[in-house]
Structure 1
Amino acid sequence: MKVIGINGSPRKGWNTDLLVQEALKGAASKGAQTELVHLYDLNFKGCISCFECKRVGGKSLEHCAVNDDLKPVLAKIDQADALIIGSPIYISEVTASVRALIERLTFQHITYRQDGRLLNTRRIHTALIFDMNVSESQLDAFGYRAKFSEYEKLFTRIIGPAKSLCVTATLQTNDYGKYDMTALNEAERKQRRNDVFPHDLQKSFALGAWLTA
């Protein structure tokens, strides 16, 4: 079994990266072969609406036709048995790179047929990991639960069964005094990093293990 993990954060070694790596460890614990992709190492854009992935009889039918750094990643996902996508939340959304990935990954399988049938018939499990600054008590106020639910539904409809993990109130920097962050309590964030984040990593590990079921 092959599992692809996507780190959709520009920051290596931080929250999203660590969570995705832990999910990959969970998959590996069940015997899966794993690979980690750092999305911000790649040069690519979102869907350009060329419709070549839907051209009847075309060479790119069901596959994104754009030749850039993302194309081989999409090919790996196409051959994988499960997928992990992790993203921090920036201004109430996944990162721009993750959004571009989602456009390219999902649109290539969508048709405008009256019966609504997708081009792809192969289904794989997907784990979606979201980490963010806001606290758990603020999730509904910011509309995050509904947003994450919609991403789950999108992947379940087009790619296969999807589950998500939401990690809140993460540590953003080791020195808050260097930045204009007076609304955030550095001591509390660091304490949470020590007390809560290890449990979030355990949840991510379990989510990765679920992919192999």
Structure 2
Amino acid sequence: MNVLAFNGSARRKNWNTVTMLEHALEGARESGAETELINLYQLDFKGCSSCFACKRLDRKKTGVCAFKDDLQPILEKVREAHAIILGTPVYFGSETATTRAFLERLQFPYLNYKDYNNSHFPRHMPTGLMYTMNVTEEQQTVLGYESVFERTRNYLARIFGSCELVIANNTTQYTDYDKFEAAYEKNEKARYREAFFASDCQRAREMGARLVCGESA
């Protein structure tokens, strides 16, 4: 069993998204999987170029992106993986731009233009999707984030077979809130993190284990 995790945050060490991904992979390893964490911001790649090579009738392989860059060998790893987990912070109400570019390249080759209900991905592969964000759960609802999250979750489920969602609200953005603009007082943020972030990480860990064991949330 091989589980790949993708960090869609520019912050690669000790911050919210990567910390939750590491907990998810720990849960996967505890269930017997081999794991790998891939930081998308370390790769040189772009989103889909709309060349439609993956939709040509005379294509040599189905479900393969023809664009050659740092993402090409990563997409080959996905084809061999048993489960994947994607983590991203929320920027301007959606995934990071790098995450969106990855999602385009990851999913579009497997989208079956003849039959949208049947993916070109050759088998069922469980996937996990994690969002971290500065806003509270109440603000998330007011801003309409749920529709964005569900759209992405639904596409992953359609392409690969299933997708589980984990959300962490009101995460810490700065190491020193005295130096940056913020609508939150630093001690308020610290108290919230102390009370809730460990449980967010535990939910990520449990998700990682479920993906390996074939269980649904």
Could you tell me the TM-score, scaled by structure 1's length?
A: 0.96
Conserved? CA contact 1:46–1:103, under 8 Å: yes
Aligned to 2:47: 46
Q: Which moved more, 1:103-112 or 1:78-87?
A: 103-112
Q: Between Structure 1 and Structure 2, which shows a larger proportion of helix residues? A: 2
Whether the 8 Å CA contact 2:90–2:133 is kept in 1: the answer is yes
AA partner of residue 137 (structure 2): E
Matched residue SS, 1:196: helix
Confirm or deny: 8 A CA contact 2:119 2:160 kept in the other structure. no
| Residue matched to 2:65 | 64
1:193 and 2:169 matched:
no
Partner of 1:180: 181
Partner Cα distance (2:62, 2:127) in 1: 23
Q: 1:111, CA displacement in angstroms? A: 2.5
Does the aligned pair in 1 maintain the 2:117–2:158 contact within 8 Å? no
Q: Distance in 2 between matches of 1:125 and 1:146?
A: 21
Contact 1:52-1:60 within 8 A present in 2 as well: no
State the match for 1:90 in structure 2: 91
Q: 1:163 to 1:115 in 2, by over 3 A?
A: closer
TM-score (norm 2): 0.94
Q: Is the 8 A contact 1:55 1:61 kept in 2?
A: no
- Across the aligned residues of Structure 1 and Structure 2, the Cα RMSD in angstroms comes to 1.3
Q: Structure 1 counterpart of 2:198, which letter?
A: P
Contact map agreement 1:8 1:38 (CA 8 A) in 2: yes
Classify 1:189/1:67 alpha carbon distance in 2 versus 1 (closer, same or farther; 3 Å). Answer: same
Task: Return the alpha-carbon distance in structure 2 between the equivalents of residues 90 and 143 of structure 1.
Answer: 14
Aligned residues: 212
Given the superposition, is the C-alpha separation of residues 139 and 180 from structure 1 closer, same or farther in structure 2, using an over 3 Å criterion?
closer
In structure 1, what is the Cα distance between the partners aligned to 2:115 and 2:87? 33
Which of structure 1's runs of 4+ aligned residues deviate more than 3 A? 114-117
For residues 60 and 9 of structure 1, the distance between their equivalents in structure 2, rounded to whole angstroms, comes to 31
Distance 1:134 1:111, change over 3 A: same
Report the Cα distance in structure 1 between the residues aligned to 2:168 and 2:116, rounded to whole angstroms. 38
**C-alpha contact (below 8 Å) 2:63/2:109 kept by paired residues:** yes
C-alpha contact 1:167 1:200 (8 A) present in aligned 2:
yes
| SS class of match (2:161) | coil
- Following superposition, the deviation at residue 96 of structure 1 comes to 0.5
Retained in 2: the 8 A contact 1:155–1:161? Answer: yes
Give runs of aligned pairs for residues 63-212 of structure 1, distance below 5 A.
63-113=64-114, 116-181=117-182, 183-212=183-212
| Whole-Å separation in 1 of the counterparts to 2:130 and 2:21 | 7
Counterpart code for 2:184: L
* SS of residue matched to 1:212: helix
Greater Cα offset, 171-180 or 53-62: 53-62
Contact 2:7 2:38 in 1 (8 A): yes
**Offset at 1:114?**
5.3
Q: Kindly, what percent of the aligned residue pairs are identical?
A: 39
Query: Which one-letter code corresponds to 1:135 in the other structure?
Result: T
Mapped contact 1:52–1:61 kept (Cα < 8 A): no
CA drift of 1:5 comes to: 0.5
SS in 2 for 1:113: coil
Equivalent position amino acid for 2:37 in 1:
L
